[in-house]
Amino acid sequence: QVQLVESGGGLVQPGGSLRLSCAASRFTLDSYVIGWFRQAPGKEREGISCISQSGTNTYYADSVKGRFTISRDNAKNTVYLQMNSLKPKDTAVYYCAADSSFTRILSGLGDYWGQGTQVTVSS
């Protein structure tokens, strides 16, 4: 069964850092655009970053620009989201998604989705 699995979430103090990973099983990620999304309780899902198949093109939402960095290691079949200067408003469940189209990912669509990892920013 094709799967995306997120990891790396947890509890961190404001100003701290976390690195999320999105790993694939039973398929290779290098043919897919990967997007990171998040959903806080009572709020709509928000697309925060995505990266093209080669890693050449990236996108960041204004809410995370300058603090988060997306990268990929196709040899390890993994995409990362480095999150620095975390704020309480970054608290959410973070999901990764894979799709062949950058446009679809930017629209919040994806062929494959992970189950999510919780990120909590609190003192």
pLDDT of 53 > 90? The answer is yes
What average pLDDT does range 12-37 have in this prediction? 95
pLDDT at 99: 95
pLDDT at 117: 98
pLDDT at 93: 98
Mind giving me the DSSP string for the chain?
A: --EEEEE--EEE-TT--EEEEEEEESS-GGGSEEEEEEE-TTS--EEEEEE-SSS--EEE-TTTTTTEEEEEETTTTEEEEEE-S--GGG-EEEEEEEES-HHHHHTT--SEEB--EEEEE--
Confidence grade of residue 37 (pLDDT, cut at 50, 70, 90): very high
What average pLDDT does range 44-55 have in this prediction? 96
